[in-house]
Chains A and B, each alone.
Chain A
Amino acid sequence: MKWFLVRRLLQTCLVVLGLSLLVFMILHVTGDPALVILPPYARTEEVAAFREKMGFNDPLLVQYARFLARAIRGDFGMSFHQGQPALDLVLDRMPATIELGVAAMVFALALAVPAGILAALRKDKLADFVGMSIALLGQSMPAFWLGLMLVMLISVKLDLLPVSGRGGLAHLVLPAITLGSFTAARVARLTRSEMLEVLGQDFVRTARAKGLREGAVVGKHAFKNSLVPVLTIVALEFGTVLGGAVITETIFAWPGVGRLMVDSIFERDFPVVQAGVFVIAVIFVLLNLVVDVAYAWLDPRIRYT
């Protein structure tokens, strides 16, 4: 187990390094930061002088080496656009991002797992039909539409919750539902299909045959065994939610890292994009690591050496 962890952490470093190279190259090939940072009225010679001053004229590899040498020490440089250390700007947004991500996952799981189990147990009955129809709806509604509809109905018409911004729990409800609904739908459908598969297996029949209560059969035997794929999806979704909640963050004016990243990409603010990719990549890889470890706990047949 120990060696497994060490190996995985080393892999993580390689992944992050490769990713940083990729992002660096893509950013530098697709846009000229000097043209974006300077106003449109800047003259050709002013753009050239600015480019030289910022070091954009050096060969790409030199720029990358310079970036890497500092990044190893946790220094991603100063934001071109915001005049602050890039990593600070990203970390500053992380609490809001994690808050929204966790709330969305809690909403999604609290709704989806019971719904999925119920649908599996009542297969082809009304509960199954209703549950899965809602799931289909949740998966096909785009976030920008769902978000605006929720705000229109619940905030403006019924006057129950704030329209946007970050504050207390009340501010969190609508963005969490908007962001979590897609995941909820996915998890509900997956839980249902996994449960159905497990419920049809021999050990479940055995459990029932030896007279176990239905609750124990479903909860202890069937559910735990159907969790492995569900957990994988949940971890992946959580990672996506952390890095890509841009639409939800935009509608609800939520100060998350997704919006910062998109703005920075448009502004060609390379240091912030690099720092953001780095932080999100690390979180993503760590989440995967946690999931891998959790597999062993859920399914004792899985052993890591």
Chain B
Amino acid sequence: MISRRAFLRTGVAAAAGGSIGLGRVPRAAAKGELEQVTMGGAVEPGTMDPHMHANRWTLDVQNQCFDQLIHRDPKAKMVPGLATAWKQRDDRTWRFELRRNVKYHGGEPFDAETVKYSYDRIMDPNTKSPIVSSLRLVEKVTVVDATTLDITTKAPAPVLPAYLSLYTNIVSKAWMTAKGPEFAARNMNGTGAFKFVDWRRGEHIKLARNDAYWGGRPQIKNVTFRPMPDPNSRVLALQKGEVDIIQDLPPALADEIKRNADLRVSAVPSIRVHFIVMRTDLKPLDDRRVRQALNYAVNKEAIVKQLLRGYANPLTQILTPAMFGYAPDVPGFPYNPDRAKALLREAGFPRGFSTEISGPTLNTDVIEAVAGNLREVGVEATIRIEEQKVNYENLMKRKATPLHYLSWGNWNLFDADGTVPFLYGDTQWSYYTPPPRFVELNKLASTIVDGKKRLEAYHELMRILQEEAPLLLLYQQFDINAANRKTTFETRYDNVMLLHDTEKS
């Protein structure tokens, strides 16, 4: 049971959150505590310092121990974290009301000063923080009083709150300055639901619950995170009962889990979408009819069903339904090889053309399927498979093949602003030059405060993209995790493996 004080605190927080949403609501009744939960993770964190990495998997450990000003609920909706409420005071100033009576695991009080310190530390070029871009909208952070903070942005920035969730963890100023960065890379001191206990590199990271957690005491007493890079080994360890939850399974292994009644798969549509960047700066891909044709030529439904075993959705636009800006009425390009051939004919390629497609090793099977589909409409694509990072560097260094496979995680913003700006201009991965209306709409949408107008702007953008087809859309992947029946663990929309709300099953 949760204490009366904690309940009141959360109630106040929820009320203060207002229209933004409820806080972490305390559980009505606990089903009993769990002594130990062990997680088999795909990637081991490189550092415990939350400001010194941009690695999604590291959040699975760190965000158990640290909080951000704004949290995400399991469906990725923004809810109060260390901030209980936030609102825009004027075009460029946001005011955040901070949670009271919160302490770091080391005992230091949480206040506006520590938030300012954390953000300033990320933004300081000397920190060399890989997540400095998360705060690129911020001009300055001002402490109003112990529980009030103002953030001034360089330009109007409706998307700011989204940037203040997930990566931008709040650290203790006193602890960080006393211990220094090398110590902070091996230890954690946050305000989160679990406390750091021990890290043996390559073996395990151990956490213990924070009894005084502001969001209610977790039901799990001890958490062990074990890095297990091979997915087959993760499945075997789950079958044997050495771990309770495993992360990141390929679809084939998910089906393997389903055959075992003691185990369960927990999969959700991911924030990550897969597509092919088309070199719109090269002939014949500079012709939108050709780009549309290639989109119609690829049988996305078959790829999803056959290769991904149903653990994906065909993509109709570059955004997913969980993101702000998604346009439900945009139809995408349902498989239609006849239409593709007609469009190619219209564009002056009745017999198709030859081109090249490249992508990372991990996605070889999909790339081969795409090339096969393209061949059916007369487009001969030579396949080039590269190591993922090499492939990505080629894209960024403007050396991409005419068709270049890419997957994009929207920076975990769940907002069109994490995707649309990357389609053109000084941001890197696209080679596309959009019409003036597109640029105008994107500028409007990334600065307009009115949510309804902003949404309308993105809807219009999605309709332009449907027409322009700068990308060959493929699928929205699923994030697939698995667990035994000991806990109520479910995969969240942001796919961070938070265990605060996980209970005994």
Contact = CB atoms under 8 A, between A and B. Distances in A.
A99 B202 CA distance: 15
A92 interface: yes
Which among A41, A148, A253 has the greatest number of chain B C-beta atoms within 10 A? A41
Contacts of B154: none
B498 to A, nearest CB: 21
Given A39-B133, A165-B226, A148 B237 contact: no
A36 interface: yes
A54 B202 contact: no
Q: Interface centre among B125, B128, B131, by most A CB within 10 Å?
A: B128
Interface string B226-243: 111110110011011010
A46 B409 CA distance: 19
> Which residue, of A36, A42, A44, has the highest number of chain B Cβ atoms within 10 A?
A42
A156 B229 contact: no
Given A35-B396, A148-B232, A251-B233, A46 B133 contact: yes
A156 B232 CA distance: 12
Contact of B202 (A45, A148, A163, A256): A256
B77 interface: no
B181 interface: yes
A84 B233 contact: no
Contacts of A31: 389-390, 393
Instruction: Output the residue of B46, B201, B393 with the most chain A CB within 10 A.
Output: B46
Nearest to A82: B46
Interface stretch (B47-55, B104-112, B285-293): B47-55
Interface residues of A, number: 52
B130 interface: yes
Given A83-B182, A164-B233, A35 B392 contact: yes
A53 B130 CA distance: 12
A9 B298 CA distance: 62
Interface in B232-274: 232-233, 236-237, 239-240, 242
A11 interface: no
A49 interface: yes
A117 B395 CA distance: 57
Contacts of B204: 165
A151 interface: yes
B229 A41 contact: no
A288 B226 CA distance: 36
A164 B54 contact: no
Given A81-B47, A93-B201, A163-B242, A268 B418 contact: no
A207 interface: no
A39 B52 contact: no
Interface in B195-248: 200-204, 226-230, 232-233, 236-237, 239-240, 242
14 contacts: A31-B390, A32-B397, A35-B389, A39-B411, A40-B392, A41-B427, A83-B181, A93-B201, A152-B236, A165-B242, A250-B233, A251-B230, A251-B232, A256-B202
Interface of B: 46-47, 49, 52-54, 125, 128, 130-133, 136, 181-182, 184-186, 200-204, 226-230, 232-233, 236-237, 239-240, 242, 387, 389-390, 392-393, 396-397, 408-409, 411, 418, 422, 426-429
